[in-house]
Amino acid sequence: MRKGVYGILKARFLVNEDATKNWRFIVFCIFLAILMIAYGHNYDEKVFRIAELTNEVKELRSEFVDKRSELMKLKMESTVSEKMEERKIFPSSVPPQKIKVTKPAEKSFFQRLWK
């Protein structure tokens, strides 16, 4: 047991005659560790980007609601009439009337033929 622990502490497994197997395994473990670290960083970047986009969507949604309410206020008849009074255009005192346009009935082909 003592020789095993000292051998590991002195890294004799790296200089023995079958050390190439050990070196291959160590390089493979290092490669896997680098891959895991890279994927972890990539994942963190995506999480931060998603959080950033979520905040941006919330800001844009609130701006949309503000602009929509402002538009509704500007579309009100009272607001429009106030703006038009500055240009000396006043609302009509006579209510509007509906104009109906009637289209004359078209004669069929046979009616036009016998005329």
| Residue owning tokens 């703006």 | 83
Mean pLDDT of 55-63: 97
Higher pLDDT pick, 72 / 91: 72
Average pLDDT score over residue span 53-57: 97
What pLDDT is attached to residue 115? 66
- At 2 the pLDDT is 64
| 78-106 per-position pLDDT tens digit | 888 888 888 888 888 888 899 998 888 88
CA distances from residue 97 to 41, 54, 94, 100, 104 in whole angstroms, order as listed: 70, 51, 9, 10, 22
C-alpha triplet 28, 34, 40: angle, nearest 5° = 135
Region for residue 83 given its phi and psi (left: phi exceeds 0; alpha: psi -120 to 50; beta: otherwise): alpha
Region 74-79: what's the mean pLDDT?
A: 89
Share of the chain above pLDDT 70, in %: 90
